[in-house]
Amino acid sequence: MSPRQRPQQQRSTILVIDDEPGIVDVLIAVLEDAGHRASGAANGQEALSKLKASLPDLVLLDVEMPVLDGGATLSAMKADPRLASVPVVLMSGIVESMVKRRCRGHDAFLRKPFSLDDLLETINTLLGRAPPRRRTDKPRAKRTTSQPK
C-alpha cells in the first residue's frame, strides 16, 4: 500500500516550525510522501496558535527563529498540560551541547543539515513505528562459510 493509499486514521500529523520557508516546504513534502499529514509555521508564536487549534502527533522545531524562538516555544509547550506530551524534535545548525543549554524537554535533536533518512528514522522511533522499507532495500542473502572437512 502506498503512503497516499494509507487509511487516514493511520497517518500521523506533524507540525514543522521553521523560519525558512524552503525548509518548511521540503520537510512537508518529504513527510507527506512518507505517509504523514504535515503543516508548517514560520515561528513559535504562529506555532502555538496552531497547536491550540489542533494537536499534532509530533513537532519538528527549529531552535533559532524570530518572534518566538525554539527554546521559548518548547518551554510554552511543556508548560501547557495539553501540549506537554507531544514529542518534539529540535533542529539546528548549532551543536547539540549548546542547544541543550538553551532548551529543555525535547525528545530528539537533529543537527542541520541532516539526512532525510535520519529525519524519518527519528520520527518513526518517536511515534513507535517501524520505518517503511525503501524500494532500494533488497533482502540480504544469507552468508555461509564453508568449513574444510
Q: Let me know: does 12 contact 58? Beta carbons within 8 Å.
A: yes
Q: Residue 115's domain spans which residues? A: 10-126
Residue 55 has pLDDT above 70, yes or no: yes
Alpha-carbon distance of 25 to 16, in angstroms, equals 9
DSSP 15-28: EEE-S-HHHHHHHH
Interval 77-87: pLDDT, tens: 999 999 999 99
Whether 84 is in a domain gets the answer yes
CATH of the domain at 16: 3.40.50.2300
Residue 143 lies in a domain: no
What is the full DSSP assignment across 42-111? SSHHHHHHHHHH---SEEEEESS-SSS-HHHHHHHHHHSTTTTTS-EEEEESS-HHHHHHH--S-SEEEE
* Whole-structure pTM value: 0.80
72 lies in a domain? Answer: yes
- Answer whether residue 39 is part of any domain: yes
Q: Total structural domains in the chain? A: 1
Kindly state whether residue 80 falls inside one of the protein's structural domains: yes
pLDDT at position 111: 96
Stretch 10-30: mean pLDDT:
95
Nearest to 70 by CA among 100, 97, 50: 100
